[in-house]
Chain A
Amino acid sequence: MSNPPGFARFRADLRPVLGAATALVATTAIAATLLALGGHSPGAAFGALVRGAFGSWHNFVSVTLVQATPLLLTGLAVALAFRARVWNIGAEGQLHAGALAGVAVAVSLPLGSPFLVLPATLLAAAAAGALWAAVPAAMKTRMGVGEVITTLLMNFVALFLAQFLVQGPLRESRGALPQTDAIPAAAQLPVLIPGSRLHLGFLIGILIAVALWLYLARTPGGFRIRAVGASPRAAEVSGRFRTGPVIWRAFLASGAIAGLAGWIQISGITHRMYENLSPGWGYTAIAVALLARLHPLAAVLTAIVFGALSAGGAAMQREAGVPDAWVRGIEALVILAVLAVDRGLQAFSDKTAAGATSRRAETGTAAGRV
């Protein structure tokens, strides 16, 4: 029954990478088949996709990375929550709450200097996202209401609230379109690379990813989040701490990061709030987080993958005439493939590692590795 520990560790480390790669290959194969069945040339379609995402400096920096930014932030939010076994499906709503708060502060407070406006708006967005997450957090910790439902429902509240505000109280002064006034220049995030659309928000996302990684791997607080995610009961009995505060912390931090995503998108790209600001980033974020096996640094890569998919999808539509629905379908396939491959690999390695005893070495997706 004794395993060579070094090899086991190596294989365990390799598994997520292997899983992600297998998922991508499988998805590509299935997508190609479907495209062919739909009468499109898979070659042309994939060619357009790759060119659209990576074909030029402009495409990569100003389209792919720009698309990846809100996915990265919401993906990190989801990954953090899931690490604590908090199934936050509400990144979409928290994103909208953050966007609204950021815009409200930007257009209503005459702060002048960007050095005042940007921190103030970012703080407001984070606070609003955290507040949006606080409702399900309270319901979970105080009343035992499952957060999957509550966070999901809070999404609709946020979406309709945003709709109401941009059509009513926050409608632009011209009154023409259901959108807010443009935010003042001081509230706009500076461009990161001159001549591109890539803004400071991408860097903020990477900094948060690094910070989360350090937090989870190297601090007692992050360790508690991982312990609760791996086994709440063991955290109480052997860790001797209450899981409630840990769940609160994960919820609030997750909401705050998702809230930032919304405002950063406005501040860096759109400069206004309008209806349907997000094409569902908060949901795609779940795939971003899962494909990264809930690892913050890996989420940077997976966010870029999904950003590329989004950028390339648009190109596929333009150049190869593949409808948008196909692109969405492929995204969904990636999620399914990731889950299937991940579980399949896990079952396989359990069998080979534990032999006849079939002992599970890891418990669920929440026990990801840092």
Chain B
Amino acid sequence: MMRSISWKRHLTGYAFISPFVIGFLVFTAIPIVVSLYLSFTSYDLFSAPKWIGLDNYDRMFNKDPKYWNSLRVTLIYVFGGVPLRLAFALMIAMLLNAKARGIGLYRTIYYLPSIIGGSVAVSIMWRNLFNDEGLVNMALNALGIGSVRWFGEPLAALWMLIFLSVWQFGSSMLIFLAGLKNIPASLHEAAEVDGANAVQRFFRITIPMLTPIILFNLIMQIISAFLTFIPAYIISKGEGGPLDGTMLYSLYLFRRAFVFTDMGYAAAMAWIMLLIVAVVSSVLFASSKFWVHYESKGGE
């Protein structure tokens, strides 16, 4: 008697979570398992996958210079772009932390770019701004400076992508803002009374108090930067040029998968990317005990 009631209760519970569970299985769990299987196969989309063991991984590490290039480009993009983006986000957050009239409106305005930031439209706009005949060059020409080939060199083109990413600071900015609001005003007041200037207060109070937020933002931004695809795809017309200079990992993976219909290799690449992201995240977590300051120690 008791048993059947509890069984029914559980059933109700399962019924309620079934939309998520089914969605998770069908769209996440099963594809993940299948992609692991595919990474050990040669699969061209047209005929059934053929088991080739570790060949894809062997080819990736030992025989594919383009793979290493994409990894190099992605590392520059991540470790060049993320610090810049976070610094920028913190700067704007500090500005918007001021008590001024209409500050809510400013916050909204500054957050807007990141709502549309990763999207196709912004990438197209970026491309049109910095084209050889884009708006920026038109302005430079009008000023008599002459046009600049913004996407002319591999490294320059990559930095153009990094600057685009810096511009999408909105979500980290909001989180920083919330963190800043949580710093007790009394700390700043006390320091001020003791004669600390603004710079000292920033480095001795604001930054240490923000370190948990910085850690969170750092990890989130690094993960999303590793997975960046849209801007590189749009701006280089899907080719990763010039000279593979904007061939981000995801873009190369996409090209292997859908341009060369090399699905097995692409799946193997995806798994290595997962490992890289996991390693980078755990290193950051491990390092956090040296630099992240938690207000309440021993809260357990």
A and B bound? no
Q: Which residues of B contact A (CB under 8 A)?
A: none
